[in-house]
Amino acid sequence: LCVCVCTIFANLSTMLKKFINSKNLGFLPKYNFGTYAEGRHKGAIHVPIAINPGVGSNRHVTCIPGTGIGPEITDSVKKILSAAHCPIIFDDINDFKMDSIHDPSFQNTVRKNEVIMLGMLQDRDGDKYVDHFKVYQELGCFADLFYAKTLPGVNTRHKNVDIVVIRENTEGEFSGVEHEVYPGVVESIKIITREASRKIAEYTFEFAYLSGRKKVTAVHKANIMKLCDGLFLEECRKVAEQYPFIKYEEIIIDNCCMQIVKNPWQFDVMVMPNLYGSIVGHAVAGICGGAGVACGANIGENHVIFEQGTRIAGKDIEGKSIANPTAMILSSIMMLKHMDLPKFAFDIERALEKTYQDGKVKTMDLGGSSSLEQFTEEVIANLSKI
C-alpha cells in the first residue's frame, strides 16, 4: 500500500511539473526550474539552487505605504511583483502612526513578519523631531544599507559609480537628546557607543566579504570629535584586522564629500555614524541621478525594512503620479534576494535594466516626461521581453 501511494505521488509530481512547464497558466509562471542564469552563455556552468521544500509557497511581507509619495511607489512595486508572479502577499498597514509603535495591537501587526516594505514615514506637526527614526530603533534595525549606482541612459557627470554606504541607524546625532542649558543656549548630545560601533563595523565587513567587495572606507571627524568618532574608528580598526583581504581606509567627512564629487570611483563600501551616513548617502545619490535611483535596507536581527535609500517624502510631487519608483523597485529587488527568491529578483532587475537601456520611458526627475504609471507599465511589459 505504501509503495503504491508513493508511486502515485511521484507520478503526480512529474505530471504536475510537465503540466506547469507546458502551459502558461494564468497564476503560475512558465518556470524552468532553476535555469535562470546571470550572463548565461553556451558552455556556462550553472548549477541550480537546491531549494528547501515549501519555500515556493506564498510569503507574507508587511507593507507600510506611509505618506508623501510612499503609497504611489509601493503600489508600483506591488504591480511589478505581481506581474512577475512573485510568491509574496503584502499585509498592508495603511494607518500606521508613530505613537502606536508601542501599542500592543500594533506590535502584532508590525512585528508579525520579518520583512517590511516601507514607502515613507514623516513627522507630523506636534511630533518630536526624531520620532520617525524611532521605528528603526524599535525594530532593532541597526544598519542602514544604502546603495546607489549610475544607471544606463541616465545623464550624470560621473559614469560607472557603484557605492554602498552603511550607516549606523540607531544613535549618533539622531539620539534625540537635546536641552536648553540657558535661554538661547542649546546643547545637543551625540551618543556613540562601543557596542553599536562594533555591530555596524562587523556588519559592514561581513557584507563586504560576502558580496565580494574589496574595500571599506570609514568616514569620521575624529580630528575634532576625538572621543566620539575616535571610539567609532577604534571599533572599525579592530574588525578590519579580522579581514586582512579587505582593504580598509579612513577619510574625514569633509574631504569625503569633496572626493565624492571629484573622484567617486575610489569608494566601494563606506561605513559611518548616523549623520554622516545621511549626508554621504545623499551626495552619492546626487552623483548617480538623484533620490529616484538609490535604494536602502534597514537591517536588524529580527526585521529588515526595505525603502528608498534617501527616505525622500516628495511632498511637492505627492499624489501627482510623477514620482520615480525606481528607488522602491531596486529596494524590492534587494528584498527578493534577501528572501531567497533570486529568480524573481533577476527578472525584475533585467526588466528594469532594459527599460533604462531602451531609454524610451523615463520619469521627470531624470529628464523624461513619463508618469509613474507609464514607467511601471514599461517595466512590466519588459518582464515578458527579457
Partner 1 sequence: MKLARDPSELDVMVMPNLYGDIVSDLCAGLIGGLGLTSSGNIGQGVAVFEAVHGSAPDIAGKNLANPTALLLSALMMLDKMNMEAKATMIRNAVFDVYRDGKHITGDVGGKATCTDFVSAIIDKLE
Cα separation of 91 and 60, whole Å? 7
Q: Least distance (Å) from partner 1 to the CB of residue 273?
A: 12
Q: Does 239 bind partner 1 (CB under 8 A)?
A: no
Cβ atoms within 10 Å, residue 226: 11
Region 64-123 residues binding partner 1, contact defined as CB under 8 A: none
Contacts with partner 1, 248-287, as mask; x by CB under 8 A: -----xxx-xxxxxx----------------x--xxxxxx
How far is CA 260 from its chain centroid? 21
Cα separation of 235 and 231, whole Å? 6
Q: Does 189 bind partner 1 (CB under 8 A)?
A: no
Q: Residue holding cell 569608494? A: 267
Measured from the CB atom, the residue of 65 and 309 that comes closer to partner 1 is 309
Q: Least distance (Å) from partner 1 to the CB of residue 288?
A: 9
Q: Residue holding cell 550553472? A: 46
**φ, ψ for residue 33, nearest 5 deg:** -55, 120
Q: Least distance (Å) from partner 1 to the CB of residue 67?
A: 20
How far is CA 29 from its chain centroid? 26
Q: Least distance (Å) from partner 1 to the CB of residue 174?
A: 14
> What's the angle, vertex CA 303, arms to CA 344 and CA 73, rounded to 5?
50
Q: Least distance (Å) from partner 1 to the CB of residue 255?
A: 6
Measured from the CB atom, the residue of 264 and 300 that comes closer to partner 1 is 264
**φ, ψ for residue 349, nearest 5 deg:** -60, -50
Measured from the CB atom, the residue of 65 and 277 that comes closer to partner 1 is 277
Q: Least distance (Å) from partner 1 to the CB of residue 257?
A: 4
Measured from the CB atom, the residue of 144 and 349 that comes closer to partner 1 is 144
Cα separation of 236 and 243, whole Å? 11
Strands (E), 115-262: 115-120, 143-149, 162-168, 172-182, 185-191, 215-220, 247-252
Q: Does 199 bind partner 1 (CB under 8 A)?
A: no
Cα separation of 87 and 344, whole Å? 9
Among 221, 303, 343, 362, binds partner 1 (CB under 8 A): 221
Q: Does 317 bind partner 1 (CB under 8 A)?
A: no
Measured from the CB atom, the residue of 25 and 224 that comes closer to partner 1 is 224
Task: By CB under 8 A, name the binding residues for partner 1.
Answer: 221, 253-255, 257-262, 279, 282-287, 289-291, 310
